[in-house]
């Protein structure tokens, strides 16, 4: 399918794999999408800046890159930044179209429904989009697709109007006669509010007059004095700031033109140098309007489809946008003078060029995706073949990467490049086709796809590497194994006992089965290998203490789901302990903190004791209440009057035992070495890097610990 992608200051239509429908979502064949000139052109302009200029303007992102470099090294950081820049990013967040498939659990929509949809990174300028239900609105019967595609802009304007909370007969000033301003003007007028519109563009002010503004003012006039005159010297009841400017002067004017106890609502973008004197004497309120309304940026609402109760949250983002569609269809909001141009998706570059060209700029531009009669076919182009593919020598393991997230692109793929004589990337499978194709292009894969079956049916794929979020690991592992593919899965192996049993049953009985490996990388690190050299000849059992200062993660982040952090991360420690003993666990006991507030969870603040059948004991402290400035991991191993201490996978020291001088400037946790061990197993020894019973034991232990809360 064609999708608009922003790269280096330009927008182009690019062929990418089309999406499949997800659980809780609907698959939409897009008919029209609306370009949000202000927001999208800002993003386009940002990608056209030099890396140095972007760094100077976004110091927070620089710190993120520096932190990544400290953890993973400069070369992986460069590869990550390069990938983001050259891969581009999707754009667009307001579409209309026809539902062609519904995901599991969706009851609100059926194939054939005419809908509008919203969401940055979701409702993109693309022929097909997969959108969660709470970001999808049913269109009124017989409504025009072009006008419905403005739904997100309407939702933003409506939320700003609601934040202003004006009454019949009150006076509002709209600062900025762009899309949002002209939509907000009409909504205010529909509510009986008297409206003044301010802008730099005479053409847009003329449209505001045609739409019924009581007064229009050019921004170079004495706008404060004019508003004071209209309001009998009192000032406006509220100002909706819908402009986009880096200057703080228009915002200062907005405060000055308000009445005592008035309010300014920031919908657009402004310089934020606020003068106390503008607000203090009048005791003004300064409010922020967050996008489409209640529910925005709430994962439970937007991604998981958990609606807010109607009686308590009357106007959610979905209900705001549904009301906007009703008003447009009823003729209460006139879009005719605002829509300047319609372009086919193939000409998206020209559409965006028009927004930056000299002279009169379009207010609303619409992209068109084809005629309605052909809309009800499911997309078949879920694979895009690339011309940049690696030439693969005999004996090189060809990998299909499933999930192109940060860990895959920041760790495994750079490591595979280092091992280019051993591994080659054949395919990338990703839910969003644009990201998958960008990663496949950067690492010279043969193709990108959104369909797992493409790689499971590909006889050239030797190894499926699963690096998705945790919740679908078990399902994907089983599908890969059942297709006869050797499988590497990032931890955890799976997240439910039922999935673990199914994996065990797959390996029951006779017959040759594909190899399975979980990404328990720490056991392969040079630090763990050096420790094992000495513990392998021990006389007595091991007394081990492992501290993982895991760091606080807010409770609404996905890592707390599907087994949480014990199943998803503490499994690393249990595997490492087992690798040092080579023994089986005979008992597990645990205690947890009892937090005094809801900020911290008992589940990821645990003290765990493992007893092994060789007499060894492992004590694990896994906690989220520690300082992030303190090293993350620490291990003590005591045996036979000897002690070995490992500090954060950066240094190793022996007491009563001569250990090799092993050190590194960054934490080296064995991710490269685990791939080397896997290659040896697949091409030479045939012996699994981690035995099945070992991986199963670790996974089952995490389930047991999680149940002990």
* pLDDT tens by residue, 586-621: 999 999 999 999 999 999 999 999 999 999 999 999
Q: What is the pLDDT of residue 390?
A: 66
pLDDT digits (tens, 9 = 90+) for 195-234: 999 999 999 999 999 999 999 999 999 999 999 999 999 9
Same fold, 2-150+298-374 and 153-288: no
316: helix, strand or coil: coil
Q: Which of 121-130, 134-143, 354-363, 492-501 has the lowest mean pLDDT?
A: 354-363
Given a contact cutoff of 8 angstroms between Cβ atoms, the answer to whether 204 and 228 are in contact is: no
Short-list 323, 290, 322, CA closest to 156: 290
Cα distances (Å, whole numbers) of residue 432 to 18, 88, 169: 8, 13, 48
How far apart are alpha carbons 576 and 587 in whole angstroms?
Answer: 17
Q: Structure tokens of 368?
A: 């068109």
**At residue 11, does pLDDT exceed 80?**
yes
Q: How far is CA 446 from CA 2, 311, 336, 424, 442, in A?
A: 19, 53, 46, 10, 11
Higher pLDDT, 445 or 65: 445
Give residue 518's region: left, alpha or beta (phi > 0; psi -120 to 50): beta
Contact criterion met (CB below 8 Å) for 255 and 232 = no
Reported as a single tens digit per residue, the pLDDT across 642-692 is 999 999 999 999 999 999 989 999 999 999 999 999 999 999 988 999 999
pTM: 0.90
Second-level CATH architecture of 153-288: 3-Layer(aba) Sandwich (3.40)
pLDDT for position 50: 55
- Residue 269 DSSP class: B
Q: What is the per-residue pLDDT for 350? A: 94
Q: What is the mean pLDDT of the chain?
A: 93
Per-residue pLDDT tens for 386-402? 987 666 777 899 999 99
CATH number, domain 385-518, options 3.40.50.720, 3.20.20.30, 3.30.9.10, 1.10.287.890: 3.40.50.720
Provide the pLDDT for residue 456: 98
Task: Judge whether residue 173 has pLDDT over 80.
Answer: yes
Phi, psi dihedral angles at 548 (to 5 degrees) = -120, 105
pLDDT for position 378: 80
- What CATH topology corresponds to 521-707? Dihydrodipicolinate Reductase; domain 2 (3.30.360)
The whole-number pLDDT of residue 374 equals: 54
Identify the CA nearest to 621 among candidates 560, 550, 523, 701.
550
Fold for the domain defined by 2-150+298-374: Quinone Oxidoreductase; Chain A, domain 1 (3.90.180)
Determine the pLDDT at residue 54.
Answer: 55
Quote the pLDDT of residue 389: 67
What is the arithmetic mean of pLDDT over 19-38? 94
| Most confident listed range (70-84, 502-516, 536-550) | 536-550
Residue 371 in tokens: 């005629």
User: Tell me: the pLDDT tens digits for 92-114?
Assistant: 999 999 999 999 999 999 999 99
Token couple for 27: 């698959």
Domain boundaries, the chain: 2-150+298-374, 153-288, 385-518, 521-707
How many Å apart are CA 644 and CA 632, to the nearest integer? 18
CA distance 382 to 366: 26
DSSP 558: G
**Distance in angstroms (rounded) separating the CA atoms of residues 523 and 699:** 15
């Amino acid at each position: 399918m064609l999708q608009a992608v922003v790269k280096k200051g330009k927008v182009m239509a690019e062929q990418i794999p089309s999406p499949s429908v997800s659980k809780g979502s609907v698959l939409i064949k897009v008919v029209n999408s609306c370009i949000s000139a202000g927001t999208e052109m800002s993003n386009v302009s940002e990608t056209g800046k030099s890396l140095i200029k972007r760094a100077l303007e976004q110091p927070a992102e620089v710190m993120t890159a520096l932190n990544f470099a400290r953890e993973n090294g400069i070369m992986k950081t460069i590869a990550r930044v390069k990938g983001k820049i050259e891969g581009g990013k999707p754009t667009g967040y307001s579409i209309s179209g026809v539902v062609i498939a519904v995901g599991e659990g969706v009851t609100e929509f059926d194939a054939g429904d005419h809908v509008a949809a919203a969401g940055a990174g979701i409702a993109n300028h693309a022929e097909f989009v997969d959108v969660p239900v709470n970001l999808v609105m049913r269109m009124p019967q017989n409504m025009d697709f072009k006008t419905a595609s403005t739904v997100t802009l309407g939702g933003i304007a409506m939320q700003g109007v609601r934040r202003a909370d004006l009454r019949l007969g009150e006076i509002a000033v709209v600062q900025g006669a762009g899309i949002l301003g002209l939509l907000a003007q009409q909504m205010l007028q529909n509510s009986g509010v008297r409206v003044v519109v301010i802008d730099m563009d005479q053409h847009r002010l003329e449209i505001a007059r045609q739409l019924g503004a009581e007064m229009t003012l050019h921004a170079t006039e004495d706008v404060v004095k004019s508003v004071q005159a209209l309001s009998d010297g009192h000032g406006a009841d509220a100002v909706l700031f819908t402009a986009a400017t880096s200057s703080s002067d228009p915002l200062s004017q907005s405060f000055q033109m308000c009445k005592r106890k008035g309010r300014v609502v920031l919908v657009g973008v402004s310089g934020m140098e606020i003068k106390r004197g503008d607000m203090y004497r009048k005791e003004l309120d300064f409010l922020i309007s967050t996008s489409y309304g209640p529910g925005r940026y709430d994962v439970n609402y937007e991604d998981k489809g958990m609606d807010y109760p109607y009686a308590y949250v009357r106007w959610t983002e979905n209900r705001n946008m549904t009301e906007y569609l009703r008003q447009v269809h009823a003729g209460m909001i006139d879009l005719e003078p605002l829509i300047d141009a319609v372009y086919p998706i193939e000409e998206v570059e020209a559409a965006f060029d028009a927004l930056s060209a000299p002279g009169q700029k379009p207010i609303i531009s619409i992209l068109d995706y084809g005629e309605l009669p052909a809309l009800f076919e499911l997309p078949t182009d879920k694979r895009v073949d690339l011309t940049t593919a690696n030439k693969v020598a005999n004996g090189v393991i060809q990998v299909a990467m499933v999930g192109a997230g940060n860990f895959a692109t920041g760790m495994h793929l750079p490591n595979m490049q280092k091992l280019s004589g051993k591994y080659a990337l054949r395919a990338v499978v990703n839910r969003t086709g644009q990201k998958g194709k960008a990663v496949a292009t950067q690492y010279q894969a043969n193709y990108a796809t959104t369909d797992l079956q493409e790689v499971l049916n590909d006889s050239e794929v030797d190894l499926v590497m699963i690096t998705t979020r945790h919740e679908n690991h078990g399902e994907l592992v089983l599908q890969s194994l059942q297709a006869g593919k050797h499988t590497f899965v990032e931890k955890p192996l799976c997240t439910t006992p039922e999935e673990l049993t199914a994996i065990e049953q797959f390996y029951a009985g006779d017959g040759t089965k594909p190899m399975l490996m979980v990404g328990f990388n720490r056991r392969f690190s040079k630090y763990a290998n050096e420790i094992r050299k000495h513990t392998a000849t021990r006389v007595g059992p091991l007394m081990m203490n492992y501290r993982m200062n895991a760091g606080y993660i807010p409770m609404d982040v996905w890592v707390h789901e599907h087994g949480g952090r014990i199943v998803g991360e503490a499994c690393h420690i249990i595997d490492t302990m087992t690798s040092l003993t080579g023994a089986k666990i005979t008992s597990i006991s645990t205690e947890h903190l009892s937090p005094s507030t809801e900020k911290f969870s008992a589940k990821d603040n645990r003290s765990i004791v493992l007893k092994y059948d060789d007499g060894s004991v492992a004590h694990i402290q896994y906690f989220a209440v520690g300082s992030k400035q303190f090293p993350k991991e620490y291990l003590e191993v005591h045996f036979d009057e000897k002690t070995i201490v490992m500090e954060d996978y950066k240094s190793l020291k022996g007491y009563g035992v001569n250990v090799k001088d092993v050190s590194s400037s960054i934490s080296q946790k064995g991710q490269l070495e685990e791939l080397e061990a896997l290659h040896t197993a697949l091409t030479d020894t045939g012996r699994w890097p981690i035995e099945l019973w070992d991986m199963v034991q670790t996974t089952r232990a995490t389930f047991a610990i999680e149940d002990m809360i």
